[in-house]
Amino acid sequence: MKKLFIILSILGSVYLSSCVDLDITPKNVVSDDDLLTNESGMDVYMARLYSYMPFEDFKYMAEWGYEYNGWLAATGIEGTGEAVNRDGISKSFTSERTTYWSRAFETLRDANHLIETLPNYKSNHTEAVYNHYLGEAYYVRATVFYAMARRFGGIPLVTKVIPYPAEASTLEVPRASEEDTWNQILNDFDKAIELMQPQSLKSGYSNKYVALAFKSQAMLYAGSVAKYNESVSGRLTGLGKKTGVRVIGFDNDKWQEAYKKYFTEAYKAARQVMTEGGYSLYKKKWNATDKDAQYQNMVDMFSDLSSEENIYVKEYLYPTLAHAYDAYSSPFIFRNPLSAGTCPTLDFVELFDGFDRYPNGTIKVTSGASNTEGNYLLYDTPMDFFKNAEPRLRAYVIFPGDMFKGKEIEVRGGVYTGNTPIKPLFENYSYANAEERYQQLKAYTQAPKTLYLSSREGADQELVNYNGNQMTAAGANGPFYDNGEATVTGFYGRKWLNPNPSAEIGNGKSTQPFILMRYAEVLLNAAEAAIELKLAGVVSPDGSDLQQIATDAVNEIRERAGATALTATIPATEDGRDIVRKERRKELAFEHKTKWDLRRWRVLHYDGRDGFWGEKRDKNMYSNNADFRFRGLYPFFSTATGKYFFDAHYQWVSAKKYSYSPLDYYFEIPSNEVAKSSVIDQQPNR
């Protein structure tokens, strides 16, 4: 996309200039005749359309909304369980500071203007190119409507240019029903797919398969809302007070047919990409018997613009269009200006293969049947704990003691000088005791002191003599219990970071691309839709075995990831559906996807939280009614043994607690828009 953004930066100010003499077109205003008659003019128009598209990339943060700056850039910190962050931006995704409303209608106006006006200039283009430009406009409109619908439900369906000034009745468009909104999105995607060519006209433009891929994603959301709103106590639906329109949810006699229709559309779109698009999973360095090669393959895939897996990519260019993900989410030793913005949780790590488990499914750190029993298991190095971990996990998460940018990422929760065997540090690891901290333990506060921790880096590091050398309690990368700028969970995120040791870190210095849509997601879309259709008793839309399609898709992804293959066909049950959900949670983590998946599955509120992880977990282990927390995994060095042990504990640095209620599945409509309008309804019960 960089070409589009460069054109916009040069010419955008001209396009937006105002005029003084209304009788004469000033020379600094670009007209439709200038823009819509030739390729270079269309480049400018398309640049404007795409520059404010609701794409969630390095410059999007859930806390801010679409402010296009990426301040404090991090991913997966919105109460998804993937990661946490030291700052207040790490909280449940229940709103955005800059609500996606006014900006959406500006982009809709540009898309509608192109749809209405380009036919006047049809003779200036070949038929294929003309159709493609129209298809782009429908694709943009579908994408904007989709971004609004998953935030608000039913929205004003502005499908034509509204002249201004005009009568209030013409200017104001009421919110449509949620069902009509999703139907419009479906229609616009279908029109785009019909008109666009299989290949993009230029880098950064869309094409038929891009539209199909995003259609599959959007229809999964629509189908999930139609189905799982019904699973929320009391049904999650309601009418607007001003218009009486069902602005959230579906009619009682329509929701079943609606979700079947949408899942069918999601499946068909995904399958068309799979059978016609020519995409495949990235496996340039993959080796079936080499876990290191599998790990490196997945590290490389996120920066390789030639990847056959990439369907739609946001490119960056220094210095005109760069981002700051490395500046905020790198390990502590690379801090510039901050670090540790994305700290993966133990709860997320537990989704992956390659670890010994307690009977309740949590990762085993002691010799007993739970982490309050037995003695700590000992390891020569922290990396030994992860020796059998799924290569995909290592590509996403920097483990304590692993290498990054040619340096060992030294992480210690502390140093323990007591005798062996080493018993669990806490007597109670339950949710009710989540607030207890290591620095409150008697081993740390009372003599004889046997636990050493560090409140901060540098001169504040506690030191322990070991074999004639001084060992820092927290290592070079923390955690420091009084400084959240190092890891707060024992892990750092690796996914998206630039691994090149020579790459400069700093604000506006990063240029690695962001993959907005890739083939792995299409496979997962097909798998989820297939199981949902089978559950609903719907005949396969393409005659294929729905369960086999789902199983093959998941296994293709798991093979590339270095995970254990499924040995049986995914059943057409809720457990089978959850197999697909869990795989989606793993594969698409840190890609701005999970926060939407959790919302559409309706598993964030307490009553539905059993499905939060895509697998059966006791929700009371990590939650208490509206609130929930996540855990870290902290390596401690034992001077008596010269080995490491790990402790699994609720996040203890910059501790975070998240909350969610059913009302939060829909964002509030901006109050000023509701107050000034006679037809714009606020969400029911708000």
At 163, is the pLDDT very low, low, confident or very high (cuts 50, 70, 90)?
Answer: confident
pLDDT tens profile 387-396: 999 999 999 9
Would you say residue 72 lies in a domain?
Answer: no
Give the pLDDT of residue 28. Answer: 58
Q: Would the pLDDT of 10 be above 50?
A: no
At 509, is the pLDDT very low, low, confident or very high (cuts 50, 70, 90)?
Answer: very high
Residues 224, 683: Cα–Cα separation, whole Å: 19
Give the pLDDT of residue 6. Answer: 37
Q: Would the pLDDT of 136 be above 70?
A: yes
Q: What is the CA radius of gyration of the chain?
A: 26
pLDDT tens profile 42-61: 999 999 999 999 999 999 99
Give the pLDDT of residue 4. Answer: 36
CA proximity to 449, closest of 416, 425, 426, 480:
416
545-553 mean pLDDT = 98
Would you say residue 382 lies in a domain?
Answer: yes
Give the pLDDT of residue 164. Answer: 75
Residues 386, 217: Cα–Cα separation, whole Å: 33
Q: Would the pLDDT of 18 be above 50?
A: no
Would you say residue 363 lies in a domain?
Answer: yes
Would you say residue 446 lies in a domain?
Answer: yes
pLDDT tens profile 570-583: 999 999 999 999 99
pLDDT tens profile 620-665: 999 998 899 999 999 999 999 999 999 999 999 999 999 999 999 9
Q: What is the residue whose two structure tokens read 């935030």? A: 151
Give the pLDDT of residue 16. Answer: 32
Q: Tell me the C-alpha to C-alpha distance, in Å, between residue 380 and each of 420, 438, 454.
A: 15, 23, 22
Q: Would the pLDDT of 114 be above 60?
A: yes
Report the number of distinct structural domains present in the chain.
1
Q: Cα 69 to chain center, whole Å? A: 17
DSSP 8-state secondary structure symbol assigned to residue 669: P
The residue segments making up the domain with residue 355 are 325-495+630-659
The pTM of this model reads: 0.95
The overall average pLDDT reported for the chain is 94
Residues 324, 510: Cα–Cα separation, whole Å: 6
Q: Would the pLDDT of 23 be above 50?
A: no
Q: Would the pLDDT of 481 be above 50?
A: yes
Percent with pLDDT over 90 in the chain: 93
Contact 660, 604 (CB under 8 A): yes
At 171, is the pLDDT very low, low, confident or very high (cuts 50, 70, 90)?
Answer: confident
Contacts made by residues 354-362, CB under 8 angstroms, sequence distance 24+: 354/386, 354/388, 354/389, 354/390, 354/393, 355/388, 355/389, 360/618, 360/621, 361/615, 361/616, 361/617, 362/621, 362/648
DSSP 8-state secondary structure symbol assigned to residue 540: P
Give the pLDDT of residue 30. Answer: 77
Would you say residue 183 lies in a domain?
Answer: no
* Secondary element (H or E) of residue 242: none
Give the pLDDT of residue 19. Answer: 30
At 170, is the pLDDT very low, low, confident or very high (cuts 50, 70, 90)?
Answer: confident
Give the pLDDT of residue 5. Answer: 39
Residues 455, 479: Cα–Cα separation, whole Å: 8
* Phi, psi angle pair for 310, to nearest 5°: -70, 125
Q: Would the pLDDT of 7 be above 80?
A: no
pLDDT tens profile 286-333: 999 999 999 999 999 999 999 999 999 999 999 999 999 999 999 999
At 14, is the pLDDT very low, low, confident or very high (cuts 50, 70, 90)?
Answer: very low
Q: Is the peptide bond before 448 cis (omega within 30 degrees of 0)?
A: yes
At 166, is the pLDDT very low, low, confident or very high (cuts 50, 70, 90)?
Answer: low
Percent with pLDDT over 70 in the chain: 95
Torsion from C-alpha of 191, 195, 198, 202, nearest 10 degrees? -110
Would you say residue 388 lies in a domain?
Answer: yes
Contact 352, 390 (CB under 8 A): yes
Would you say residue 673 lies in a domain?
Answer: no
pLDDT tens profile 204-245: 899 999 999 999 999 999 999 999 999 999 999 999 999 999
Concatenated DSSP letters for 146-198?
HHHHHHHSS-B---SPPPSS--HHHH--PBPPHHHHHHHHHHHHHHHHHHS-S
Q: Which residues contact 113 (CB under 8 A, 6 or more apart)?
A: 161
Residues counted in the chain: 686
Q: Would the pLDDT of 169 be above 70?
A: no
CA count, 13 A, side-chain hemisphere, 656: 25
CB atoms under 10 Å from CB of 511, counted, come to: 19
CA count, 13 A, side-chain hemisphere, 628: 29
At 24, is the pLDDT very low, low, confident or very high (cuts 50, 70, 90)?
Answer: very low
Residues 386, 367: Cα–Cα separation, whole Å: 17
Query: For the chain, how far is it from start to end, CA to CA, in angstroms?
Result: 39
